[in-house]
Amino acid sequence: MRYKEAGVDIDSGDRFVEKIKSLVRRASRPEVLGGIGAFSGLFQIDVRKYRCPVLVAGADGVGTKSRIAAILDKWNTIGIDLVAMSVNDILAQGAEPLFFLDYLSMGKLDSSRAEKVIKGIVEGCELAGCALLGGETAEMPGFYPEGECELAGFAVGVVEKDRIINGSKIKVGDKIIGIAGNGLHSNGYSMVRKVFGIDDDRSRARTILGSFIGDLGCSLGEELLKPTKIYVKSMLTVLERFKVNGIAHITGGGMKGNIPRILSDGCKAIVHRNRWQAPPIFEIVQRKGNVPDDEMFKVFNMGIGMALVVSSEEAEEIKSELVKKGEGASIIGEIVSGKKEIEII
């Protein structure tokens, strides 16, 4: 018996690795030693650039958003999502992403689909300024439904120890700046699929996802596959010039779950929902699913992908700097005395 008869084609996997080597070289940095194909990746930190460097690591995935990609057989954007979810997380502690690793698993390796995913990962790494140091592509017959895959990502960054952002310096009177997202990003897709009736009937699901929605200006599928925004380059500029007391990446748990994570004791966040315009997809989901306001803010980012807590004296200047860098930014709230929680009014 040959391994191929059990559903695993080693030769095909080897050919795939060779095929993507030139692609992966696009997402590199001078600190990378060697290329892909070894048992692990090598990254030499230039310690002369730092006084007291601290490594920051994060891992994440794209959740059931990958189901939408599978139904539509469109794989070119979820790789960007994969990078975004991890690099935005480590950015929340003030870290510059250095390198990224991916894990891609399929029931049967489809080189064409896998290459599209890797291209998205490379694009995400380029947007984040980090290297794609390596990864794993696994073939697991009988484990996944036909045409579906699993994605996970891991990012490592660096920050000076005395510049770690952990929310401990947040104080009463600080302002909250919201940075606009790019739609749903990669959270809440289980609810979205339920609301729109996107289930295991592929034919029916494609019809639903292919429907054009006037308020969106595109099909539902196109909206749902918009990639998560990567904030690294604009945020690193802000972190170089200004003091930021807290950063919350608005992912699973929405504003309700993520902003309180960074608050210091005795601080309460007040967010004014009339200070930014959420993209239409949120109103459509809420109306179609009859979802309560409180639940929407627990599940979705509601149009704010990243929230910064800064001093009231620098808030306007930081907002202006973000706008110069192409971000949609608004002062959406403030910190008051109270229990460590968020109130949306």
pLDDT tens per residue across span 170-182: 999 999 999 999 9
* Neighbouring C-alpha atoms within 13 Å toward the C-beta of 29: 24
**Which of these three, 163, 191, 215, is where a domain ends?**
163
Q: How confident is the model at residue 25 (pLDDT cuts 50, 70, 90)?
A: confident
CATH number for 116: 3.30.1330.10
Whether 103 has a pLDDT exceeding 80, the answer reads yes
Q: Which domain holds residue 64?
A: 3-163
Any domain includes 170: no
Q: Give the contacts of 152 (CB within 8 A, at least 6 positions apart).
A: 59, 60, 61, 82, 102, 103
Provide the whole-model pTM. 0.94
Query: Do 101 and 152 meet the contact criterion of CB atoms below 8 Å apart?
Result: no
Q: Do residues 8 and 113 both lie within one domain? A: yes
d(CA 250, CA 69) in angstroms, rounded, equals 22
Q: Do residues 149 and 18 both lie within one domain? A: yes
What's the confidence (pLDDT) of residue 150?
A: 92
Using only C-alpha atoms, the chain has a radius of gyration, in whole angstroms, of 21
What's the confidence (pLDDT) of residue 12?
A: 80
User: What DSSP string runs through 15-26?
Assistant: HHHHHHHHHHTT
Q: Do residues 198 and 128 both lie within one domain? A: no
**Which of these three, 111, 137, 163, is where a domain ends?**
163
Whether 259 has a pLDDT exceeding 80, the answer reads yes
Q: Do residues 138 and 207 both lie within one domain? A: no
Any domain includes 168: no
The tally of domains found in the chain comes to 2
Nearest CA among 27, 189, 41 for reference residue 120: 27
Whether 35 has a pLDDT exceeding 80, the answer reads no
d(CA 283, CA 291) in angstroms, rounded, equals 10
Residue type, 178: G
Q: How confident is the model at residue 243 (pLDDT cuts 50, 70, 90)?
A: very high
Query: Do 335 and 172 meet the contact criterion of CB atoms below 8 Å apart?
Result: yes
d(CA 333, CA 312) in angstroms, rounded, equals 11
Q: Do residues 13 and 147 both lie within one domain? A: yes
Nearest CA among 109, 102, 97 for reference residue 78: 102
Nearest CA among 66, 60, 70 for reference residue 101: 60
Whether 14 has a pLDDT exceeding 90, the answer reads no
Q: Do residues 22 and 114 both lie within one domain? A: yes
Q: Do residues 97 and 9 both lie within one domain? A: yes
3-class DSSP assignment, residue 185: coil
What's the confidence (pLDDT) of residue 130?
A: 97
The residue-averaged pLDDT of 188-213 equals 94
Any domain includes 291: yes
**Which of these three, 138, 163, 188, is where a domain ends?**
163
Q: Do residues 268 and 336 both lie within one domain? A: yes
Least reliable range by pLDDT among 4-8, 246-250, 285-289: 4-8
Q: How confident is the model at residue 146 (pLDDT cuts 50, 70, 90)?
A: confident
Give φ, ψ of 61 to 5 degrees.
-140, -165
Whether 22 has a pLDDT exceeding 90, the answer reads no
The residue-averaged pLDDT of 187-192 equals 96
Q: Do residues 199 and 154 both lie within one domain? A: no
Q: How confident is the model at residue 2 (pLDDT cuts 50, 70, 90)?
A: confident
Q: Do residues 261 and 334 both lie within one domain? A: yes
Any domain includes 169: no
Q: Do residues 24 and 145 both lie within one domain? A: yes
Whether 38 has a pLDDT exceeding 90, the answer reads no
Query: Do 155 and 87 meet the contact criterion of CB atoms below 8 Å apart?
Result: yes
Look-up: residue for tokens 């489809």? 110
